[in-house]
Amino acid sequence: MAETKTDTSTEASEPTCIRIFDTTLRDGEQSPGATLNLQEKLKIAQQLALLGVDVIEGGFPITSVGDFEAVRQIGQSVDGPIVAGLARAVPADIDRAGEALRGCPRPRIHVFCATSKVHREHKLRKAIDEIIRISIESVKQARQYVDDVEFSPEDGSRTELEILRDITAAVVEAGATTVNIPDTVGFAVPSEYGEIFRYLRQQLPQLDAKDVYLSAHCHNDLGLAVSNSLAAVANGARQVECTINGIGERAGNAALEEIVMALRTRRDYYNRFTTRINTKRIYPVSRMVSTFTGLHVQRNKAVVGENAFAHEAGIHQDGVIKFRGTYEIMDPRDIGVPESKLVLGKHSGRHALRQRLAELGFELDAEMLEKVYTAFKDLADKKKDVYDDDIEAIVDDLLQQGRSLWELVRFQVISGTGVISTATVELTDTTGERRMEAATGDGPIDAIYSAMQKITNVPLEVEDFETRSVTAGKEAQGEVSIQGRHNDRKVKGRGLSTDVVEAAAKAYLSAINRIKTVEDRKQAAAALNGNGGATAP
Ligand code: MN
């Protein structure tokens, strides 16, 4: 597609289409506590394609069999976007990425090598000439596999401008088609970060001549990831790397939904730019990522947070009732946020449920629909009014269960004042075998957790326990989120039920299942080779 590049806002040409490079499945999955299995990654990738992202970074193939398979299967099954695999500037990494992308219709290898002084001196222990030489060779090697090669000078925002210029010129000469300048440690501020892009475009006319894409990749350590990304766009970046819900290493990456909605809501200001994102798909994919990773979206999170469109102050409510535009700059429907209204009750049929699910962004197969219907009927028996949030919660819960290794069969607790809390729990493992244990504890939940620990034999120390109701009313569904520690690793779990004790039991089990997923993956990785210590931009 021919894209006009506009340096000045006075030029009245077609707006530049900013490429949205989604790294939820790579950088996002590096979030502490988040792990995704292959099925989850494939489901998210399909949603990302429907959302309209231009590039999906599926993983870092050399690091594990799981990442290799994710890149391979996304590359072969997902229609539309370019699929990227990450590689260090190391021959084995590039070979592995090339292998993972074999058969992918739109493959990209993303090579990175650190360039900042602190990384040169303390991590790589190499001089810049050597780094440039390795980078050139790596890009050439990647070009033997694919025509689309991205290069990232890791810690780019802390690299001297002249060095960034020289390495960019060198890798473009070697065949890189996108050069990404990562703010790996979230240190940059907007004007300074934007200046890097202005400088590179001014110094290197070959970028325009060869139609090379400059790209932004920002971390949110100072809360500036989105601002920095927008500053880069205003100064000539034509690709932005981001994640759903802003998940990622440490404080996370720039949030896709915030960048896209800033460009869209402020078209009056950013009229030179557009994206291919179908914004109505934002909310469903945000929910899916939150469910699969176990990373809650904070209530006041921009665009997708629960309170993003809630008006509390009386004067605001009055204004919004008279005219939404008084206090509302975005229409929640544009993001695909369903209006939470009373929809279904006990007498609603499958058809009504399927229709409502479709409106909520869930397209389920017949088997899954039947499961949702059964759970819905159960819930409608317990509570009169079933809201959209309840239905979403049921689907989220079932999606989690669908991949469960351990499943809850039943439990019984005895608890009260002056009574030793005692729990009896029965679970099934993957083979379908039932196992039962009893334990005492400091309260009913503690007793259940002790019994589960006996059955599963997985040590898990619960550090944080949070409960909230999904909808209003006495019979509302309760959601329990826990954060625990397994050896040295943080792990999260989530469970849902109208019975908060049962929700707590499910949350614990989902954490146990997550630990199992990670361990399976580690074993697979160890079986491949002893490749450790791979960091990423
Ligand atoms: Mn990163």
pLDDT reported for residue 531: 43
With 60 as the cut, is the pLDDT of residue 383 above it? yes
CA of 416 to the centre of ligand 1 (A): 50
- pLDDT, mean of residues 37-58: 95
| Percent of the residues in the chain that have a pLDDT greater than 70, as a whole number | 91
Which pLDDT band, with edges at 50, 70 and 90, does 26 fall under? very high
CA of 403 to the centre of ligand 1 (A): 28
Instruction: Tell me the two tokens of residue 15.
Output: 């707006």
CA angle, 211 as apex, 207 and 213 as ends, to 5°? 75
pLDDT reported for residue 403: 60
CA of 221 to the centre of ligand 1 (A): 11
Instruction: Tell me the two tokens of residue 322.
Output: 């008279």
Average pLDDT over all residues of the chain: 88
CA of 57 to the centre of ligand 1 (A): 11
pLDDT reported for residue 533: 42
Using DSSP, how many helices (H) and how many strands (E) does the chain show? 17, 18
With 60 as the cut, is the pLDDT of residue 91 above it? yes
Instruction: Tell me the two tokens of residue 53.
Output: 């992202």
Per-residue pLDDT tens for 173-212? 999 999 999 999 999 999 999 999 999 999 999 999 999 9
With 70 as the cut, is the pLDDT of residue 12 above it? no
With 50 as the cut, is the pLDDT of residue 131 above it? yes
pLDDT reported for residue 404: 59
Architecture per CATH, domain 16-293, reads as Alpha-Beta Barrel (3.20)
CA of 249 to the centre of ligand 1 (A): 7
CA of 277 to the centre of ligand 1 (A): 22
CA of 39 to the centre of ligand 1 (A): 23
CA of 133 to the centre of ligand 1 (A): 23
- pLDDT, mean of residues 115-125: 90
Q: How far apart are CA 59 and CA 349, in angstroms?
A: 41
CA of 60 to the centre of ligand 1 (A): 12
Per-residue pLDDT tens for 94-113? 999 999 999 999 999 999 99
CA of 38 to the centre of ligand 1 (A): 21
CA of 320 to the centre of ligand 1 (A): 39
With 80 as the cut, is the pLDDT of residue 150 above it? yes
pLDDT reported for residue 4: 46
Q: How far apart are CA 33 and CA 23, in angstroms?
A: 17
pLDDT reported for residue 487: 85
pLDDT reported for residue 217: 98
- Say whether 88 sits in a helix, a strand or coil: strand
- Say whether 224 sits in a helix, a strand or coil: coil
- pLDDT, mean of residues 443-449: 94
CA of 515 to the centre of ligand 1 (A): 24
The two beta strands, 16-17 and 273-274, are: parallel
CB atoms within 10 A of CB 461: 11
CA of 535 to the centre of ligand 1 (A): 9
| Residue 138 vs residue 8, higher pLDDT | 138
The answer regarding whether domain 407-524 maps to CATH 3.30.160.270 reads yes
CA of 184 to the centre of ligand 1 (A): 5
CA of 225 to the centre of ligand 1 (A): 11
Per-residue pLDDT tens for 272-310? 999 999 999 999 999 899 988 888 899 899 999 988 887
| Lowest pLDDT segment from 152-166, 223-237, 452-466 | 452-466
3-state helix, strand, coil in the chain (%, to 5): 45, 20, 35
CA of 424 to the centre of ligand 1 (A): 45
Q: How far apart are CA 240 and CA 238, in angstroms?
A: 7
With 70 as the cut, is the pLDDT of residue 45 above it? yes
CA of 469 to the centre of ligand 1 (A): 34
Q: What is the pTM of this model?
A: 0.76
Q: Which amino acid is at 34?
A: A
Q: How far apart are CA 49 and CA 58, in angstroms?
A: 12
**C-beta separation of 358 from 301 below 8 A:** no
CA of 218 to the centre of ligand 1 (A): 7
Per-residue pLDDT tens for 224-263? 999 999 999 999 999 999 999 999 999 999 999 999 999 9
- Say whether 249 sits in a helix, a strand or coil: coil
